[in-house]
Amino acid sequence: MDIINILPDSVANQIAAGEVVDRPAGAVKELLENAMDAGATQIDLIVKDAGRTLIQVIDNGSGMSDSDARLCFERHATSKIHRADDLFAIHTMGFRGEALASIAAIAQVELRTRLHDNELGTSVTIEGSHIVDQHPEACPCGTSIAVKNLFFNVPARRNFLKNDKVEMSHIEEVFRRITLIHHDIGFTLQHNGKMEYDLKAGSLLQRIAGLFGNPYKERMYNVEEETDLVKIKGFVSKPEFSRKTRGEQYLFVNGRFIKHPALSAAVEKAYADLLPDHSYPSYFIGLTVDPSRIDVNIHPTKTEVKFVDDHALFAILRSAVKRALGQFSLATELSFDTPPDFNIGPAPTGFIPQQPKVHYNESYNPFRATPSQTKIKLTMPERPEKPEEQLVDDIQPTTPNSSLLGVPSARPTTPNSPNCIQVQGRFIVAPLSSGVAIIDQQRAHERIIYDRLTQSHNNTLTQSQTLLFPVNCQFSAADAELLGELLPDLKEYGFEIAAAGQCTFVVTATPAELGDSDLQALLDQMLSEYKGSTMQKYSNRTATLCASMAHQMAIRKGQQLTQDEMQRLIADLFACPMAELSPSGKRIITIVNPEELLK
Ligand code: ADP
Ligand code: MG
């Protein structure tokens, strides 16, 4: 008895769908890619219930003819390749002709499409691979595909979906991977009626800022390289903006997001020891290579790719990133010879700026010069090649105690030697032209953050960073009440916190400065500091909050700093109007003058 039969298309398609569309994000990816392949310049993605009830993609691309509008749902129906040879020169995102057939097998799909030359378009409705309706319809040029009730006929798959938050985060990741590299196309994303992203066509850097927030514009170095083998274009994060997790790391090849551990390692290697331990750079790098030099048999859901020229690519990429890091400011920004170009915040309340004092020798007569007077003043000899006394002679003694805490009122001349030393994991010792500065690293960092916070508060420029996964925090009843009161203030500093029960709050965004910290601990500490009597000394609520946030965000005692970090910290500190005192009034800098050094 014969027992073999050929599966009906609807069943075969459903099986195939399991591979291509395993969750709503899979359908989103296929639909967005089709819209790009159709040459769209504007693509709108509309999602309801994290894609469970609706995924709709509207594009202004080529559109389809009446018969193509039906044919596109057949398996192996594609306009993108015609023969096997085409496989070696693929310039489109799709080519397998599987996606629409798969999606139509597991959802109710409504397609509206119109060719630019036609006056009337077509509407096709298909459910579980069966066309239930097709009629001419007046519609805009281009294509709109609405995928409704995904997995309506595959309960196992439907039940397997995670909660909306998780599914939506997958969709957003797909959206980022596609929109980042196709920054010349406008995209929007709406979820449950709310516009989540409205990305205008523009440069890669504008796109990065549109997706991750404006501060990213200042956090990136440009990487560019062109060789016979590969063209590289993109951005890498400045070392000081590295993160504790491998978050924003995006590599693309020929417009397609890829994962390639060796190439990622090439980028990270380029940073060498510029990064603190367990920190990772962010990067957004697009490679363009000859399509015949990569493995074309790319599976739609896979992101791995094989290159013929692995090793060469690795070396080129690493040196391109290295050059970007070296070429831009690391050297110049950290050199104390050039005044750092920082925004200097407004002085804290009550601070009276003092005139810098110019010291000069009234009895100096250039025509009766003594050797010591004619000597050219060295701001900071790299390595003194003369006896100590002579060196000290060169350095102007500071007038004693003209300012707070006895720190010379004229801002200490910034050191121009790169050699700082960290002592006891707590103090930075930096050579100055007027002696040696001993700087408390934690207090210095507090001052820098405090100034930035108060400055951004006054300018209402606070940069907020949306969390990929919101965090729930629990508080005692009293703390919950206080936090509730402080919410509007915290919002101004970039926190998005909402009450989610009597004593529970959900944090959905934090100030960009914050990085990845333990939010519960941070808020607990902040509240207790806010309540604590020590914080009452600030002029107002804003100052109190800023000081307590700065205290929480600052680096701690015991944190090892690299040479670059120390220099950066000092440069930032000296750019603060009140570099001498921490926000809570503790002394940051002690200057040991040459006389004391000699003793
Ligand atoms: P593939 O993209 O691999 O060719 P799909 O199943 O995704 O396979 O799409 C089948 C065909 O339908 C495409 O080759 C294309 O001709 C047509 N198509 C799909 N989406 C669109 C769209 N948004 N605009 C114009 N044509 C489209
Ligand atoms: Mg496709």
**CA-CA distance, 64 to 142, in Å (whole number)?**
8
- Among the residue ranges 22-36, 216-230, 358-372, 567-581, the one predicted with the least confidence is 358-372
The mean pLDDT of 105-134, rounded to a whole number, is: 96
Distance, in Å, from the CA atom of 182 to the CA atom of 186, rounded to the nearest integer, reads 9
Where b means 16+ CB within 10 Å and e means fewer, 1-14 reads eeeeeeeeeeebbb
Instruction: Output 409 or 18, whichever has higher pLDDT.
Output: 18
Q: Which atom of ligand 1 lies closest to the CA of 57? A: 23
Minimum mean pLDDT range among 41-45, 54-58, 370-374: 370-374
pLDDT at residue number 301: 63
Going by C-alpha positions, the residue among 53, 52, 54, 249 that lies closest to residue 44 is: 54
CA distance 184 to 162: 33
What residue type is 575 in one-letter code?
A
Please answer whether residues 129 and 13 qualify as being in contact, where contact means their C-beta atoms are separated by less than 8 angstroms.
yes
Per-residue model confidence (pLDDT) at position 406: 30
pLDDT in tens, 55-113: 999 999 999 999 999 999 998 888 877 777 776 677 778 777 889 999 999 999 999 99
Q: If you average pLDDT over residues 25-36, what whole number do you get?
A: 96
Tell me how far the alpha carbon of residue 131 lies from the centroid of ligand 2, in angstroms: 19
Tokens 């105690």 locate to: 401
Closest CA to ligand 1's atom 17? 72
pLDDT band at 20 (very low <50, low <70, confident <90, very high): confident
Measured CA distances, 491 to 195, 468, 523 (Å): 20, 18, 13
Residues of the chain by 3-state class (helix, strand, coil), percent to 5: 40, 20, 40
Distance separating alpha carbons of residues 471 and 467, to the nearest angstrom = 8
Q: Which ligand is nearest to the CA of 96?
A: 1
Cα(68) to centroid(ligand 1), Å: 9
Counting ligands in written order, the one closest to the CA of 143 is: 1
Calculate ∠ Cα 209-213-217, nearest 5°. 45
CB 190 within 8 A of CB 49: no
User: What is the pLDDT, as a whole number, of residue 178?
Assistant: 97
Q: What is the pLDDT of residues 374-425, one digit of tens each?
A: 333 333 333 333 333 333 333 333 333 333 333 333 344 444 445 889 988 8
Least confident of 40-54, 458-472, 577-591: 458-472
Q: What local confidence, expressed as pLDDT, does residue 298 receive?
A: 58
How far is the centre of ligand 2, averaged over its atoms, from the C-alpha of 77 (Å)? 10
Please tell me the distance between residue 31's alpha carbon and the centre of ligand 2 in angstroms.
Answer: 7
Structure confidence at residue 462 (pLDDT): 59
pLDDT score, position 392: 32
Average pLDDT over the chain, rounded to an integer:
79
Q: Is the dihedral of CA 367, 372, 378, 383 positive or negative?
A: positive
Q: How far apart are CA 557 and CA 485, in angstroms?
A: 32
- Ligand 1, atom nearest to 78 Cα: 14
Looking at the CA of residue 59, tell me the nearest atom of ligand 1: 23
Residue 285 is classified by DSSP as E
Atom 12 of ligand 1: nearest residue by CA position: 72
Task: State the distance from the centre of ligand 2 to the C-alpha of 93, rounded, in angstroms.
Answer: 7
> With 60 as the cut, is the pLDDT of residue 343 above it?
no
Distance 204 CA to ligand 2 centre (A): 24
Q: Is the predicted pLDDT of residue 198 greater than 90, yes or no? A: yes
Ligand 1 pocket mutation, candidates 32, 68, 78, 147, criterion most atoms within 8 A of CB: 78
The predicted pLDDT at position 209 comes to 96
Which residues lie near ion ligand 2 (Cβ < 5 Å)? 34, 94, 99
Indicate which atom in ligand 1 lies nearest the CA of residue 93: 2
228: amino acid identity, one letter:
D
Which tens digit of pLDDT belongs to each residue from 203-226?
999 999 999 999 999 999 999 999
Distance 231 CA to ligand 2 centre (A): 26
Q: Please determine, for residue 295, whether its predicted confidence score (pLDDT) is greater than 80.
A: no
Q: Identify which ligand lies nearest to the alpha carbon of 142.
A: 1
Q: Which pTM value belongs to this model? A: 0.58
Greatest mean pLDDT among 26-35, 258-267, 320-329 lies in 26-35
Per-residue pLDDT, averaged over 515-519, amounts to 74
Pocket of ligand 1 (CB under 6 A): 30, 34-35, 37-38, 59, 61-64, 72, 77-80, 94-101, 143
Ligand 1 pocket test: which of 41, 82, 100 has the largest number of ligand atoms within 8 Å of its C-beta? 100
Instruction: Answer yes or no: are the C-beta atoms of 62 and 179 closer than 8 Å.
Output: no
Taking CA atoms, 564 is separated from 193, 291, 338, 344, 435, in Å, by 47, 41, 15, 21, 21
Q: Is a pLDDT exceeding 90 seen at residue 436? A: no
- In this prediction, residue 138 carries a pLDDT of 96
Q: What is the pLDDT of residue 119?
A: 94
Flag whether pLDDT at 48 surpasses 90: yes
